[in-house]
Amino acid sequence: MRAVLQRVSRAQVTVDGSVVGAIDGGILVLLGISAEDTLDDLNWMVRKVAELRFFEDADGKMNLSVEDVGGAVLVVSQFTLYGDCRKGRRPSFIAAAEPAKAVEFYEKFCGELTQRGLQVATGQFRAHMDVELVNDGPVTLLVDSRTE
């Protein structure tokens, strides 16, 4: 699994002019699922998102997790994170999971974060989404369950 994590002061997803998910303060997760991902990758990513020290403490050091600060998580499915641009001018997406597996893992990922007590909002799987955010910091990190 791959994810782009952005610390945000607010973020929202709109589909066809209607807001389908929004948060005030927390992490925007752009989540990519590969054809080779397993439940171990999913569980690793859940822990990483929930426990990563992404927020500043009283001394200005990034020592607090989204769980520690009571922040929310907005999760947006992003198969394009598995776009391979090494050859030609058009990305190849063959490494991305097929939709049936991707939606299963996406929903399980969101459910696991919710079970940890986090407020979770989502985009709409396989929809054309407009994602708006205010990146706080800015702080943006890339995480990959296969390279960490």
The catalytic residue among 6, 54, 55, 79 is 79
Please indicate whether residue 14 is annotated as part of the active site: no
Please indicate whether residue 80 is annotated as part of the active site: yes
Helix (H) or strand (E) holding 56: strand 55-56
CA-closest candidate to residue 7, choices 30, 29, 27 = 27
Q: Give me 68's structure tokens.
A: 């520690």
Tell me if 125 sits within 8 A of 36, measured CB to CB.
no
The catalytic residue among 38, 80, 114, 140 is 80
Please indicate whether residue 54 is annotated as part of the active site: no
30's CB contacts (< 8 A; 6+ apart) are 3, 4, 6, 76, 78, 81, 131
Q: What angle do CA 97, 73, 30 make, to 5 degrees?
A: 35
The catalytic residue among 78, 105, 109, 122 is 78
Residues acting as catalytic residues: 78-80
